[in-house]
Chains A and B, each alone.
Chain A
Amino acid sequence: MAASSDRSPPPFSSAAEQPEEAAPADMADGDSDEGEDIFVNNTNPVAVSRGVSQPERVSEEPPDLFTEEEEAGNTNTKSNGVHSDDDNDLFADAHVELNTDKSGSSDRKELSSSSSSSSGPLPSSSFTQNPALVQPSSLEQLEEEEAKDSFDLDVAVTNPEKVGDGMNAYVAYKVSTRTSLAMFRNKTFSVRRRFSDFLGLYEKLSVKQSHHGCIIPPPPEKSVVGMTKVKVGMDDPSSVEFVERRRAALERYLQRIVSHPSLLQDPDVREFLEREELPRAVNTQALSGAGFLKMINKASEAVNKMTIKMNESDTWFEDRFQEVENEEQQLRKLQAVVDSLVNHRKELCGNTAVFAKSMAMLGNSEDNTALSRALSQLAEVEDKMEQLHQEQAASDFFIFAELLGDYIRLLGAVRGCFDQRTRAWQRWQEAQSTLQKKRESEAKLLWANKPEKLQQAKEEIADWEARVTQYERDFDRIGMTVRKEVLRFEKEKAKDFKSQIIRYLEAMVQSQQRLIKFWEAFLPEAKAIA
């Protein structure tokens, strides 16, 4: 387990955390990395996850594209005792996160890292940012929060680019890592990955025994429709939005993985982050043989679940499981409502725009000049409202809806862990019953007096006894892991929800303030009608 940590478990890409560190460690200049140094101030338009460094070095973020500040999010990683420095270094510079705007283009802001002092990896990162962002003042508040953890690894997913043409085209994302952990070859590096690579990583992680009981964050869902549009090359806003949404989801996915202490240690994860070329993960294709096999496996597991009822000695697990199921249901309901809200707001946007035009026309045909002017002003106000609604809808969507979606999938993963424990129990029970049978047959052989067979039987018994012990140990181990994981998950979830909802509310506050400005500007015009 991780070395002494006086830090609380790394949060799930919670945006509100700002790690703060007392003493920056001295490290070699972080600039000495090869290739693009996306984390240091340079003009590469790259979106980087931003983190915040020590309290003294807090810097303001430059206004970003949307004239709203983004929030620093961070993912923390525990050092797991690998890092020799006990003080995890914070990045000396406050970096700003630039986000791709919906166009997914590489319009990014500059990083404002103040000094290149390399102190080591930035404490994490970015939360996927999108249109609705938070004001600078909140960032400052965040920056003043007590650091709970230090961050050794910061990862970002940026630069979606379409590669190839036609139906074989795909989108490649740039995965950039910055770390001070010794297990990586370099301090900062980046690779290009495509969506199936992310899925492949997930597949690899989920089949490993060693991770049984862990809550492995699930990747975003496949979407044939969305991808087909992108492949076909349409540059319309919906496919741009789709790519942006996916990029953000992939980033959150990776951040969750790297913030999980034992997953970070996994060589597959390392390989994913570091290795230049990754073998194509073909078994993630929906219509492949492997795909079908998976479906069949899932079906049989489902059947299994129904037939075996576990003898639960510990009610803790049952209670938790029930809670998880309830929660998932509630979240689904909430998600449906938020989706409906997003749609209605988009509708409102459209209708407001149309109305604004209509008002403008009316103003034109009005022959009283003051009234005509006032009506045109009204049309402008409505136009601005439309924009407001648009942003609000984006905020609804990117902050709230995606949060809910992530957690619904995560709850599914949690249920998966519980299932793994159940299966471990099953294995153990089956082994026990096999052992029992072997013992019975041994007894029979003893009666029948067949020495050679007896020998074999004794060997088998020994073998199965070992297995039973092994499985029992496995079961206990998984039980403990599940417990730990669930507790950690609950904490993360609470933090995540809180910070996201606060972000959402802050976006609402902003939009109300702007609304007030618009109408205040209009009022004198209306009064001037004579």
Chain B
Amino acid sequence: MTDCLWLDEKTEDSITQNSPEQEGLDDGPDFLSEEDRGSRAVNVDLQTDATLQVDISDALSERDKVKFTVHTKSTLPNFKQNEFSVVRQHEEFIWLHDSFVENEEYAGYIIPPAPPRPDFDASREKLQKLGEGEGSMTKEEFTKMKQELEAEYLAIFKKTVAMHEVFLCRVAAHPVLRKDLNFHVFLEYNQDLSVRGKNKKEKLEDFFKNVVKSADGVLVAGVKDVDDFFEHEKTFLLEYHNRVKDASAKSDRMIRSHKNAADDINRMASSLYALGTQDATDICKFFLKVSELFEKTRKIEARVAADEDLKLADLLKYYLRESQAAKDLLYRRSRSLVDYENANKALDKARAKNRDVLQAETSQQLCCHKFEKISESAKQELIDFKTRRVAAFRKNLVELAELELKHAKGNLQLLQSCMGVLKGNT
């Protein structure tokens, strides 16, 4: 089964056509695009399967929604054509995900986690604040900050596209889910699926469902499993999930501090530039050089923060969601085990009373069957989950280390050459 590993920057190319329609936004200084983005070749095993390939070839950002162009290539007979595209919005992805979750048939599988909602609010707010504060800063400062914010916007945009794509790829790679009818409709039907977002009542229902589920989950979790494998997995996943959650939150904070520090270096550069332009003396030239240096190092620092974000923080976030999905699977299995045991008890009671025995028997058989089916597929899913996880971590950690090294070396070279010039002038 091919697996869609943590998505690489393959989406980079596919987004080149996009034009976020925010005022004044352009493809800006694409500081996220690096040569080594072409490492998709190393991408472990995305789509080696020609029977169904899905990707997001384009994306458009409008006022408050993002439109993804989902592009499918398939040799399967179910589809009318071999290659086609449709436009989908975030809600439609959620609908698809929920339909999987609610489908009893899929109770034994890890449902690929839904992509998070595209959230440009923070970025938009900053852009707005910048616009308001335009009067209070110099032209250069303004342009610089604007460019940065645009780059940030672009980065968030790329990330959200990547996450939606990963979801689709995971579904496409799953031997059972890829055959799902809803999925095919999602891929092919080129009209609006008119899935409205949940209204308040439904959201409330969901909320209660979740509460019940977690309470239930606690009860169910208390039931010791006969099967060692699952018992081990349960304890493992619980702990792992919590720790990933913690690590994810902390990595976010760390990266944010990093970005803040990089911003400060930026302002230092501007300040030094202002000092340097006061005069034409030696010391002023010195300031100008240093200001230039800081500009460059800050760009590198910003990239380091961005890469850490991509390789580390996003990885952790993704596995947070996946481990939750795995936990959900275990919960469903435990639930069905409890049901099975209850059915057994009911059968015994019925036999004792010698009433409705047939009914109890069929219901017990159903539960047994369901339980076994889930157990079997769950085992396989969990093993795959492990393999995927290890591979994804490996890939990302290696890339993280390589990028850190690359940037540090770049930074070092920059500093050393600048120092050479500065000292030479003294």
Q: List 20 A-B contacts (CB under 8 A).
A: A16-B426, A340-B267, A351-B253, A354-B254, A355-B247, A362-B243, A365-B240, A367-B386, A368-B386, A371-B393, A371-B394, A378-B397, A497-B286, A501-B422, A505-B415, A505-B422, A512-B415, A519-B404, A526-B398, A527-B398
Judge if A462 is at the interface, Cβ distance under 8 Å. no
Give Cα distance in the complex from A364 to B243, angstroms.
10
**A355 touching B250, Cβ below 8 Å:** yes
Instruction: Choose from B267, B287, B398, B423 the contact partner of A337 (Cβ within 8 Å).
Output: B267
Judge if B215 is at the interface, Cβ distance under 8 Å. no
For window 86-113 of A, CB contacts with B under 8 Å fall at none
Complex contacts, B279 vs chain A, CB 8 Å: 323
Known A368-B390, A526-B394, A529-B394; contact A337-B422, beta-carbon cutoff 8 A: no
Complex contacts, A446 vs chain B, CB 8 Å: none
**A509 touching B286, Cβ below 8 Å:** no
Judge if A191 is at the interface, Cβ distance under 8 Å. no
**B408 touching A515, Cβ below 8 Å:** yes
Known A371-B393, A374-B393; contact A519-B405, beta-carbon cutoff 8 A: yes
Judge if A330 is at the interface, Cβ distance under 8 Å. yes
> What distance in Å separates the Cβ of A238 from its nearest Cβ neighbour in chain B?
19
> What distance in Å separates the Cβ of A430 from its nearest Cβ neighbour in chain B?
36
**B272 touching A334, Cβ below 8 Å:** yes
**A365 touching B236, Cβ below 8 Å:** yes
Known A523-B405, A529-B393; contact A330-B271, beta-carbon cutoff 8 A: yes
Instruction: Choose from A493, A513, A523, A529 the contact partner of B390 (Cβ within 8 Å).
Output: A529
A483-506: CB near B (< 8 Å → 1, else 0) gives 000000000011001100110011
Judge if A358 is at the interface, Cβ distance under 8 Å. yes
Complex contacts, B389 vs chain A, CB 8 Å: 368, 371
Please tell me which stretch of A1-9, A64-72, A118-126, A342-350 contacts chain B, meaning at least 4 of its Cβ atoms lie within 8 angstroms of it. A342-350
> What distance in Å separates the Cβ of B411 from its nearest Cβ neighbour in chain A?
5
Complex contacts, B416 vs chain A, CB 8 Å: 509
Give Cα distance in the complex from A366 to B251, angstroms.
18
Judge if A169 is at the interface, Cβ distance under 8 Å. no
Judge if B244 is at the interface, Cβ distance under 8 Å. yes
Give Cα distance in the complex from A280 to B187, angstroms.
87
**A355 touching B251, Cβ below 8 Å:** yes
> What distance in Å separates the Cβ of B99 from its nearest Cβ neighbour in chain A?
32
Judge if A461 is at the interface, Cβ distance under 8 Å. no
> What distance in Å separates the Cβ of B359 from its nearest Cβ neighbour in chain A?
44
Judge if A520 is at the interface, Cβ distance under 8 Å. yes
Please tell me which stretch of B110-118, B175-183, B258-266 contacts chain A, meaning at least 4 of its Cβ atoms lie within 8 angstroms of it. B258-266
| Closest B residue to A378 using CB positions | B397
Judge if A326 is at the interface, Cβ distance under 8 Å. yes
Complex contacts, B287 vs chain A, CB 8 Å: 497
**A365 touching B239, Cβ below 8 Å:** yes
Complex contacts, B281 vs chain A, CB 8 Å: 494
Give Cα distance in the complex from A497 to B426, angstroms.
11
Give Cα distance in the complex from A354 to B258, angstroms.
14
Judge if A359 is at the interface, Cβ distance under 8 Å. yes
**A341 touching B261, Cβ below 8 Å:** yes
**A513 touching B394, Cβ below 8 Å:** no
> What distance in Å separates the Cβ of A8 from its nearest Cβ neighbour in chain B?
14
**A326 touching B260, Cβ below 8 Å:** no
**A327 touching B409, Cβ below 8 Å:** no
For window 232-285 of B, CB contacts with A under 8 Å fall at 236, 239-240, 243-244, 246-247, 250-251, 253-254, 256-258, 260-261, 264-265, 267-268, 271-272, 274-275, 278-279, 281-283
**B426 touching A498, Cβ below 8 Å:** yes
Complex contacts, A413 vs chain B, CB 8 Å: none
B391-413: CB near A (< 8 Å → 1, else 0) gives 00110011011101100110110
**B412 touching A513, Cβ below 8 Å:** yes
**B415 touching A508, Cβ below 8 Å:** yes
Known A371-B390, A498-B422, A529-B397; contact A338-B415, beta-carbon cutoff 8 A: no
Give Cα distance in the complex from A367 to B239, angstroms.
11
**A497 touching B415, Cβ below 8 Å:** no
Complex contacts, A378 vs chain B, CB 8 Å: 397
Judge if A299 is at the interface, Cβ distance under 8 Å. no
Interface residues of B toward A: which range? 35 or more
Give Cα distance in the complex from A326 to B247, angstroms.
47
> What distance in Å separates the Cβ of A123 from its nearest Cβ neighbour in chain B?
19
Complex contacts, A310 vs chain B, CB 8 Å: none
Give Cα distance in the complex from A351 to B257, angstroms.
8
A35-60: CB near B (< 8 Å → 1, else 0) gives 00000000000000000000000000
Judge if A177 is at the interface, Cβ distance under 8 Å. no
**B247 touching A359, Cβ below 8 Å:** yes
**Chain A's interface: helix, strand, loop or mixed, by majority?**
helix
Contacts A334-B271, A341-B265, A502-B422 supplied; 11 other A-B pairs, CB < 8 Å: A326-B278, A333-B271, A344-B261, A355-B250, A358-B250, A361-B247, A362-B247, A366-B240, A367-B386, A501-B286, A519-B401
Judge if B221 is at the interface, Cβ distance under 8 Å. no
Give Cα distance in the complex from A371 to B387, angstroms.
11
For window 351-369 of B, CB contacts with A under 8 Å fall at none
Give Cα distance in the complex from A378 to B246, angstroms.
16
Complex contacts, B265 vs chain A, CB 8 Å: 341
Number of interface residues of A (CB under 8 A): 57
**B247 touching A330, Cβ below 8 Å:** no
| Closest A residue to B405 using CB positions | A519
Give Cα distance in the complex from A530 to B254, angstroms.
28
Judge if A23 is at the interface, Cβ distance under 8 Å. no
Complex contacts, A348 vs chain B, CB 8 Å: 254, 257-258, 260-261
Judge if B419 is at the interface, Cβ distance under 8 Å. yes
> What distance in Å separates the Cβ of A530 from its nearest Cβ neighbour in chain B?
8
> What distance in Å separates the Cβ of A527 from its nearest Cβ neighbour in chain B?
6
Judge if B171 is at the interface, Cβ distance under 8 Å. no
The 4 A-B residue pairs with the shortest CB-CB distance, nearest first, are: A341-B264, A348-B257, A529-B394, A494-B283
Complex contacts, A366 vs chain B, CB 8 Å: 240
**A365 touching B243, Cβ below 8 Å:** yes
**B247 touching A522, Cβ below 8 Å:** no
**A526 touching B257, Cβ below 8 Å:** no
**A338 touching B268, Cβ below 8 Å:** yes
| Closest A residue to B269 using CB positions | A337
Give Cα distance in the complex from A351 to B255, angstroms.
9
> What distance in Å separates the Cβ of B107 from its nearest Cβ neighbour in chain A?
25
Complex contacts, A505 vs chain B, CB 8 Å: 290, 293, 415, 418-419, 422
**A358 touching B275, Cβ below 8 Å:** no
Complex contacts, B390 vs chain A, CB 8 Å: 368, 370-371, 529-530
Complex contacts, A362 vs chain B, CB 8 Å: 240, 243-244, 246-247
Known A347-B257, A355-B250; contact A516-B271, beta-carbon cutoff 8 A: no
Give Cα distance in the complex from A497 to B284, angstroms.
11
Give Cα distance in the complex from A76 to B286, angstroms.
24
**B397 touching A526, Cβ below 8 Å:** yes
> What distance in Å separates the Cβ of B414 from its nearest Cβ neighbour in chain A?
9
Complex contacts, B258 vs chain A, CB 8 Å: 348
**A358 touching B247, Cβ below 8 Å:** yes
Give Cα distance in the complex from A378 to B239, angstroms.
19
Complex contacts, A361 vs chain B, CB 8 Å: 243, 246-247
Give Cα distance in the complex from A344 to B267, angstroms.
13
Judge if A150 is at the interface, Cβ distance under 8 Å. no
| Closest B residue to A375 using CB positions | B393
Instruction: Choose from B251, B278, B282 the contact partner of A494 (Cβ within 8 Å).
Output: B282
Give Cα distance in the complex from A516 to B402, angstroms.
10
Give Cα distance in the complex from A516 to B257, angstroms.
21
For window 198-257 of B, CB contacts with A under 8 Å fall at 236, 239-240, 243-244, 246-247, 250-251, 253-254, 256-257
Complex contacts, A334 vs chain B, CB 8 Å: 268, 271-272, 275
